[in-house]
Amino acid sequence: MRLTVEIDEGTLEQVMKFTGESKKGPTLVKAASEFVRRQLNREFARKVMEGEFSDYPLTNNEIEEFDR
């Protein structure tokens, strides 16, 4: 999919530095993919800590209480 994006040059340079990419397109793809991956990890961690999985029944608070 092609997309036109207006982004501050300084911000783009920082993103290129952080991603290690030298071209703009791959830089933005990598940054967006990493953002999605981190959001999914946060959501998974939240679900685990709230005890939403039947095969992992303890919440974070219950685990901390157990460790005391």
List pLDDT tens digits, range 14-52. 999 999 999 999 999 999 999 999 999 999 989 888 878
Residue 23 DSSP class: S
Q: Is the pLDDT of residue 57 over 90?
A: no
Per-residue model confidence (pLDDT) at position 27: 96
Q: Where along the chain do its domains lie?
A: 9-67
Which of the residue ranges 8-12, 45-49, 64-68 has the most confident prediction, judged by mean pLDDT? 8-12
Residue 22, Cα to own-chain centre: how many angstroms?
A: 22
